[in-house]
Amino acid sequence: MPRSKTLQDRPAIAFLSDYLPRQCGIATFTHDLCEAVATQAGRKYEVFAVATNDVPEGYPYPERVRFEMRQSVRADYRLAAEFLNIQQVSAVCLQHEYGIFGGACGSHILALLTRLRRPLVTTLHTVLKEPSRQQLQVLKQIAEHSDRIVVMSDVARGMLGDIYDVPEDKIALIPHGIPDVPFVDPTFFKDQFGVEGRTVMLTFGLLSPGKGIEYAIEALPKIVAEHPEIIYIVLGATHPHIKRESGEEYRNALMRRVNELGMSDHVMFVNRFVEMDELCEFLGAADLYVTPYLQEAQITSGTLAYAMGTGKAVVSTAYWYAQEMLADERGRLVPFRNSDAIAEQVVDLLDNETERHAIRKRAYNYCRKMTWKRVAQDYLDLFQTAREAWVERQHRVAETPRERGASLKEDELPEIDLRHLRTLTDMTGILQHCRFATPDRNHGYTTEDNARALIVATRYWDQTHDEGVLRLMQTYLSFLSHALDEQTGRFRGYMHYNRTWDEAPGDEDSHARALWGVGCGVALCPYESMIALATRLFLNALPAVEEFSSPRAWSYAIVGIHEYLCRFGGDSEVRRYRHVLAEKLMDYFEANMSDDWPWCEHVVTYANATLPHALLMSGKWLQNGRMIDIGKRVLAWLLEIQTNEDGHLSIIGTQGWYARGGERARFDQQPLEAHALVNACVEAYHVTRETYWLGQARKAFTWFLGDNDLRIPLHDFTTGGCRDALHADHVNENQGAESTLSWLIALLLMHEMQTELTLGEPPADKVLQQRPVPRAIKPSGPVVATKVEQDARTDRNGQ
């Protein structure tokens, strides 16, 4: 839960960001700015921070932090807005970078901003020249909610107007702050680090592959040949996120290269996160500062600002911020990924001491306007301007007509709660049944439940990047890997609690659901090792479906193929399977449906909406209008026959189903059906852009919450699970895997849909975007998506 402390009785300014001791450049910036503003404001304002936590346990924050939000929990953002509103803060200062907030492209912050009723000043640490659709929409909406936008470079100010449509009078340029230190001779500090008598070249900051340190290292042999006294200090810990994903792989690779070049006596790695006082001492000891970053698209750099502010001669690649800061002979620019150019400029500066010192002085004098004291006053002045703009904006606010489909955008959806999923899951996989909410070991595990669990885990990861779900992903992948008989290419269906299999293969529907699960693994797993296993399982299991006769199996396989193609859209063999199965499904409908019975079978049974879901999806992919028309007609009919007089969903029951010409069974109603309808209605909206389908998706979803024949919720908020069925006069209190997973898949999809509506619709002709394989591992064979690979859904990963 979010935590807070009581404020004093003074007007307050709140900074919203991550915060020290979290190891992050923006956390450092926010801490320094917050302290500077507090010092400059004196007793006029109470200054505090609202911090986002990227780990469940949070951090041992200083007293300055008054409220904490879990990064991936949307509800915490709403509570933070309530906290800020209640405190009547004079201004909120948001430090924005996509990666420090939860949701797609950091979109969870919008849940706070839409509820915030206080003046807002937003500082942008990233402005992209070529943003994805979601990145564009997130930043546009942040700008709309902001009374003033702060950037730290002219290039960022220009892009805000040209790309993000931000009015010029809303944008303020306030430089990156720097500590106010004297202009000193580098020899003063060198003895503290054991480098007296050496010429020091320095790079500092959290270590990650994008920093380009390898190019500075490659430059060393040529530098050493001219200046054998040189030592290159690489200062800083590895970025925590990089360390969690790949350990010290990058640092170790740099160290190996140093040894290979014979430069061990000329490189010092300082692997720790240093405090400001010690950082200034390291900077003081440096004769040269190098920033060999690899990408042009960087609108600010605290390390460059600090280096120049301490009077260092800088050699830098020509990223945007460096181009501005080092103009007018305040430093030297070199091309990207060019170690020879780095060596040439470093040697030239070391050979020309007079020029080097002139550059140092020009840099130092230029940065006097950037000291934290002056920057803090600039922010205080801007907060006053923002308050005036906010008051004026409140007077202009008027009621606007409610748009169709807005109810889904504004719904307070339940938070995604995986507690019961974790309760059901042991080291083997997810157990099939519960006695009430306690796992029942008598019934073992099914392959289809573990496939659904993998869908939940991967979708949850895609939305939250919560690393706590990675173990679950591995567990379900492991189960599915064990379930696949690679000799036959079929998934076995049932494992006893003692880990013995019923050796007969599972039925066609179970196999196809497993394909859907591993397809999601291919599309959404975060690491190459997991993607590789999911891809192998998918490709080994896919050929079997061509001989299947079940239309539900065809449909589940089609949905799984879609997931696979989200990453490897150019796989022509998988596209061939999609075409074959889609044609089979459409032919089956056309051969059996009639005007009064638009269904492909004589009995409407289970998972019915999966069939029109697959038709709609396939029609979009294959540009087949007939498939789309049949899919819409069938889905509308299923909704019609499963809507009661009150307009609520009334699912066809398992006690008799619905035979052609017969009476529809009202009970027992299964969560699987509601989940299938949510999926199909969302797909219908993505294909048609008709807002009618949003309302139908919401109707199917709220069946779980009590909008049903008994007006009783099936979702259990106390456990996070879902009850197994709706009977004629009660609910089945058992909370097994199928029902809980159906609830979670539907909930995840509604959250995804809500985010899409918040960010705005993607273009109607958006081409399917392939997901990159993490860590540069590419599949063999052709993988180039074609124009017909049009995505029927929103771009989930913000590519």
- Listed range (268-272, 477-481, 650-654, 752-756) with the worst mean pLDDT: 752-756
Q: What is the pLDDT of residue 10?
A: 83
Mean residue pLDDT across the chain: 91
Q: Residue 434 in 3-state DSSP? A: strand
Q: CA-to-CA distance for 443 and 737, rounded, in angstroms?
A: 11
Q: What is the pLDDT of residue 791?
A: 33
Q: Residue 171 in 3-state DSSP? A: strand
Is there a contact between 42 and 138 (Cβ–Cβ < 8 Å)?
no
Q: Given pLDDT bands bounded at 50, 70 and 90, which one contains residue 478?
A: very high
The per-residue pLDDT for range 122-154, each reduced to its tens digit, is: 999 999 999 998 899 999 999 999 999 999 999
Q: CA-to-CA distance for 217 and 208, rounded, in angstroms?
A: 15
Q: What is the pLDDT of residue 187?
A: 87
Give yes or no for residue 268 having a pLDDT over 60. Answer: yes
Is there a contact between 153 and 298 (Cβ–Cβ < 8 Å)?
no
Rg (C-alpha) for the chain, rounded Å, is 30
Q: Which residue reads 């193609």 in tokens?
A: 565
Q: CA-to-CA distance for 149 and 140, rounded, in angstroms?
A: 11
H or E element: which one contains 604?
A: strand 603-604
DSSP 766-787: PBPPPPPPGGG---SS--PPPT
Question: Tokens standing for 104?
Answer: 């797609």
Q: CA-to-CA distance for 459 and 45, rounded, in angstroms?
A: 43
Average pLDDT, stretch 415-437?
A: 97
* Nearest to 2, CA basis, from 49, 46, 47, 51: 51
Q: Given pLDDT bands bounded at 50, 70 and 90, which one contains residue 457?
A: very high
Q: Given pLDDT bands bounded at 50, 70 and 90, which one contains residue 757?
A: confident
Please count the CA atoms within 13 angstroms of the CA of 668 that sit on its side-chain side.
Answer: 13
pTM for the predicted model, two decimal places: 0.79
The per-residue pLDDT for range 359-385, each reduced to its tens digit, is: 999 999 999 999 999 999 999 999 999
Q: Given pLDDT bands bounded at 50, 70 and 90, which one contains residue 766?
A: very low
Is there a contact between 361 and 311 (Cβ–Cβ < 8 Å)?
yes
The per-residue pLDDT for range 299-336, each reduced to its tens digit, is: 999 999 999 999 999 999 999 999 999 999 999 999 99
The per-residue pLDDT for range 165-189, each reduced to its tens digit, is: 999 999 999 999 999 999 988 888 8
Q: In this structure, what DSSP letter does residue 762 have?
A: P
Question: Tokens standing for 670?
Answer: 């299964």
* Alpha carbon distances (Å) from 99 to 5, 54, 104, 135, 181: 26, 10, 9, 11, 31
H or E element: which one contains 422?
A: helix 419-424
Q: What is the pLDDT of residue 761?
A: 54
- 628-646 exposure pattern, b = at least 16 Cβ within 10 A, e = fewer: bebbbebbbbbbeebeeee
* Alpha carbon distances (Å) from 1 to 4, 717, 747, 785: 10, 16, 21, 43
Q: Residue 654 in 3-state DSSP? A: coil
Highest mean pLDDT among 205-214, 548-557, 751-760: 548-557
Q: CA-to-CA distance for 510 and 445, rounded, in angstroms?
A: 13
Percent of the chain surpassing pLDDT 70 = 92
* Alpha carbon distances (Å) from 501 to 24, 424, 476, 513, 753: 48, 19, 16, 18, 38
The per-residue pLDDT for range 597-644, each reduced to its tens digit, is: 999 999 999 999 999 999 999 999 999 999 999 999 999 999 999 999
Q: What is the pLDDT of residue 792?
A: 29
The per-residue pLDDT for range 543-590, each reduced to its tens digit, is: 999 999 999 999 999 999 999 999 999 999 999 999 999 999 999 999
Give yes or no for residue 5 having a pLDDT over 90. Answer: no
Q: What is the pLDDT of residue 412?
A: 77
